[in-house]
Amino acid sequence: MQGEAQEQRERVVAPGAEALEVSPTMAPELDDALAVPPNPRAAAFFDVDNTVLRGASIYLLAKGLWQREFFTLRDVRAMAWKQLSFIVRGENLKHVHQIREQALAFVAGHSVSEITGIGEEVYDEVMAAKIWPGTRALTAMHLDAGEEVWLVTATPVEVAAVIARRLGLTGALGTVAESVDGVYTGRLVGDPMHGPAKATAVAALAAEKGFDLAECSAYSDSANDIPMLSLVGHPCAVNPDAALRTHAVKHGWRIRDYRTGRRAARLGGQALALTALGGALASAGARRLRH
């Protein structure tokens, strides 16, 4: 009888308070009491590439498409060099646009559901291991505070939505590729979700949802996102490029850098890794040709 009573009741004691006997029937009531109510006035907006995810998500998607024979070895090797430049020097608008335009051309004629499915596979195979733990903790902090958390990225919205869903976030704003009857045409709908377009999209979402931008937060690694960061009351530079770091220091913005080790060693290691990637792709391509 004593053991049964112990299983049915627990004693919860807070410091300086009397013991509270809790029965199983009280659990839902306690859950409601401890739950953080949503804050309809605040939200957090996160860039993806080099902020949430190490590297360029569009490149990782393109590599996944190559592995599924959407395009040639030469195409993916060119994208790999642009990825190296992205990691070493920071975001390059020209390269980002080139990779995106190539990817749009290659997905033309494929279904939205097919690309979404590949996005799920690429996340499991590659992206999950590249999520910055520090930034992941920041998203959890905002969710725990009852705030919505949105990704805002130039990555195709279908892939951005996969990342948001896997991380348990509210949603994603991304570049929209045109589709007709569920099939991609190879054209964009509107502008790419990049630079000032991010600020425009965040402002529109805030108006729709009733967010007070002065209470909102935004996170990015790139000076290209200064318009979005300047829009909110709590901007934060994460793994910032040189231009964004300078701007953040000048304006008293928070800075979080989750990159570890000496920068020279890190960049050298990344260069070697991508060189090895190029060699591996060349080897794989040669094997494919032989077969």
How many angstroms separate the CA atoms of 5 and 7, rounded?
Answer: 5
Enter the tokens of residue 49.
């590439």
Taking each helix axis from N to C end, the angle separating 93-107 and 57-67, rounded to the nearest 10 degrees, works out to 30
How many angstroms separate the CA atoms of 282 and 154, rounded?
Answer: 29
Tracing tokens 């975001």 back to the chain, one arrives at 91
Catalytic residues: 47, 49
